[in-house]
Structure 1
C-alpha cells in the first residue's frame, strides 16, 4: 500500500496491502492495477510504509531498506474492486450520499472536470480511441487499458513509464468516483466536460485547494458578516420613526409661520 499522486488525486494503492497484512512481507507481490508483467522495485521504508495510508500497519521490526518486487497482473475487475475499497458507499445518514457519509444531491446541469480528470480522459482517448461519454464507455475503456502491456501503452501515448504505470488505476478510479461516487449515469454522464482550461486560463489542483479551504470557513464566522442583531435593528427603526415624526412636525411649524407672516403683510 502506498499514497500515490496522479495530477490532483491522492489515493492509497490498497491492492498492495493484502500480502503485507495476511502473509507477512514477501520478496514479490502482485498488483492487479499495473500492466501485465510490468515490474518495479519498491523500498518498504520509503515507498510503502512512509504514508498516512499505511502508518498504522507499519511492522515494529520493519527493515526500511528492504526492497520487494511488485509485479503487474493487469486484472481490470480486481483493480476496480481494490479501488472501490477506498470509498465507503454504505455509510449514509441522508436520503442520498456520494461516499463516506457525505450528502449528495442528484446531479443536474453541466459539469467541468479538469486537472487529473482531463489528463486521464486524454490518455484514455489516445490509448483506446474511446471518448468518455457514458459509464459503459468508461468501463469498456478501463477494461481495455488494464489488459494492455506497458509497451503498448507507451507506444500509443509517447508518455513516460512513471506516469503510464498508473493509467489502469486512474481509469478505474475515475470510473468508480464518477459513477458509484457522484452517481453520474447514462443520462447525466454526457453533461461532464473534460477541460484543460477554463475561460482561457489553466486550472488545476490550486483552484481545487482554494475551493476546499473556502469550504472550511466555520459557519460561525459568516454570522459576523451579517447585519446588527434584531434588538439593535428595533432601536434604530424606533429612532428613525422619531426623527421622521419630529421632521414632519418641524416642517408643519415652519410652513405655518411662513403662512402667518404672509397674512400679516
Structure 2
C-alpha cells in the first residue's frame, strides 16, 4: 500500500483505483526498455534546456559541495537481479539526467551505508528532506 502513496505511483495511478486489488509487475528483462520506461516518469522537455531546472519544470540549483545519499543495498541474489533493474535506472536517471551529476560532481557524492546501530544518518536525512519543502519552487529574482 505504501507504493501507491509514492510520487511515481500518483503519476500512474489508474482510475478507478481499487486499493484492495492485487497488481503484479512483470519485467521484460530488457535493460534498454527498462531505461526508456523509467525516463517517461520525468518530463525533461518542460525545462526547455534551462540550466537551473531538474525535470517537470521545477527549479533546481546546480549541484555543488558534498551530497549525501543513504544506501540500503541488499545482498545481491542472482534470482532477484531483475527486480533491481528498475530501481537502478530510476536512481541513475534522477542523479545524472535530473540533478546533472557529472564526472566531477559524482566524486563528491558520499554514499552512507545503512547500519543497524544508531550511527547512520537516517533521521537527519529525513529531517533535511522535510526542510526542502521550504525551498522556493521558482527561480529567485535577480
Where in structure 2 are the equivalents of 1:92-107 lying within 5 Å? Answer: 92=47, 94-107=50-63
Displacement of 1:112: 1.6
Equivalences for residues 66-215 of structure 1 within 5 A: 70-92=25-47, 94-114=50-70, 118-120=71-73, 123=74, 127=76, 153-154=78-79, 166-196=83-113, 201-204=119-122, 206-215=123-132
Aligned counterpart, 1:58: 16
Tell me the TM-score normalised to structure 1 length.
0.40
Shift of 1:190: 1.8
SS at match of 1:213: helix
Q: Which has the larger radius of gyration?
A: 1
State the partner residue of 2:3: 4
Cα offset for 1:171? 0.9
Structure 1 alignment gaps of length 5 or more: 13-50, 128-151, 155-160, 220-265
> Comparing both structures, which one devotes a greater share of its residues to helix?
1
The one of the two structures with greater contact order (alpha-carbon pairs below 8 A, sep at least 6) is: 2
- Residue aligned with 2:110, SS: strand
Aligned length: 131
Aligned CA-pair RMSD: 3.7
Structure 1 residue 217 displacement after superposition = 4.8
Between the aligned partners of 1:153 and 1:104, the Cα distance in structure 2 is 37
Counterpart secondary structure, 1:195 = strand
Preserved CA contact (<8 Å) 1:87 1:100: yes
| Distance of aligned partners of 1:179 and 1:3 in 2 relative to their CA distance in 1, 3 Å threshold | farther
Following TM superposition, by how much is the alpha carbon of 1:79 offset from its aligned partner in structure 2, in angstroms? 0.7
Deviation at 1:76, TM superposition (A): 0.6
> Unmatched 5+ residue regions in structure 2?
137-142
